Amino acid sequence: MKGYSPKLFLLPLALVKNVVGFSHSAHSSRCENKMTMMISSEDMKTKQRSNTMDSISTRRQWYQQCSVAVASAAMTAFPMGATAAGKLVEYRGEFINEGASKSRQLDNSNVVFVQDQYYVTASSPPFIPQGDTSYPEKMPFVASQPRRDVLEKYRQRVQRGIDLLASLEGEIQKGDYKSILAAEAPEYSIRPLGLLAAGFMASDSTVPRQLYIARWYINEIYLDINDIKSAPSKEAALASHANAIKALNSVLGMVNRSITSKVGDPFVLL
């Protein structure tokens, strides 16, 4: 590949980042703009060279080959692909949770933590009954000091989110569920809950399966809150709230398994 500009090699990397790492169209637009600028810049430079036509032809073929290769790799890593935008989830795999929100987008673009259990396996884990430690079979090892630190940092915010989620049942019973805060509101502490889970389950170098599962539960809470707000009836809103509580208890149960006496007090489940 002698004589090719180093910028050419950035195209596949940009495509991979766009497909694998982000859920919002803004990233895609920025990536496309950068790619357009890169291509325009390279074309201008090559026009000044004596062997313009052969060089441009070869490079364009290389662009096309790279694009096809990266797209194929992306579809293998995340089968939903770019064509899934706007379509709703179709679970498959080792387990299908019938209580899972039906409003999840097929490409996982309407959740907070894109890389969750659905992203990895296209499956939906079961809700974990209170006190059950059989799923997942074990929790990752994280030293006690980091667990203490992350619990101290996020506990109050997470507890406020827990209390707010619990209070929604009263709003639903009164028929006021259309006016509740949307799931994006920071009062629900969705992101702090995700950061708490990451601090208890992940290391600097690995993202274990258990964290993908925890993220799925957290994303379900987020989806269920919006399902409550858009519910066609009180009964539907109550069903979504019940599923949100099950998802919350599931992730809190996972976290509690790693809260030993040296770390702090476990969360009280709803």
Q: Please write the tens of the pLDDT for every residue from 157-199.
A: 999 999 999 999 999 999 999 999 999 999 999 999 999 999 9
Report how far residue 248's alpha carbon sits from residue 217's, in angstroms, rounded to the nearest whole number: 7
Better-predicted residue by pLDDT, 6 or 122: 122
The pLDDT of residue 95 is 75
Q: Which of 148 and 48 is assigned the larger pLDDT?
A: 148
Q: Do residues 154 and 192 make contact, with C-beta atoms less than 8 angstroms apart? A: yes
Q: What is the mean pLDDT of residues 140-167?
A: 97
Give residues with Cβ within 8 angstroms of 124, minimum separation 6. Answer: 91, 95, 96, 97, 100, 117, 118, 216
| Domain 117-256: CATH class, spelled out | mainly alpha
* Domain edges within the chain: 6-77, 117-256
Residue 61 pLDDT grade (very low, low, confident, very high; cuts 50, 70, 90): low
**Residue 206 exposed, middle or buried by CB count within 10 Å (0-12, 13-18, 19+):** exposed
What is the distance between the alpha carbons of residues 119 and 162, in angstroms, rounded to a whole number? 25
pLDDT at residue 152, rounded to an integer: 98
Question: CA 260 from chain center: how many Å?
Answer: 28
For residue range 35-56, list pLDDT tens digits in order: 444 434 444 444 444 444 454 4
CB 89 within 8 A of CB 105: yes
Does residue 232 have a cis peptide bond before it, meaning omega lies within 30 degrees of 0? no
Please tell me the predicted confidence (pLDDT) of residue 58.
Answer: 55
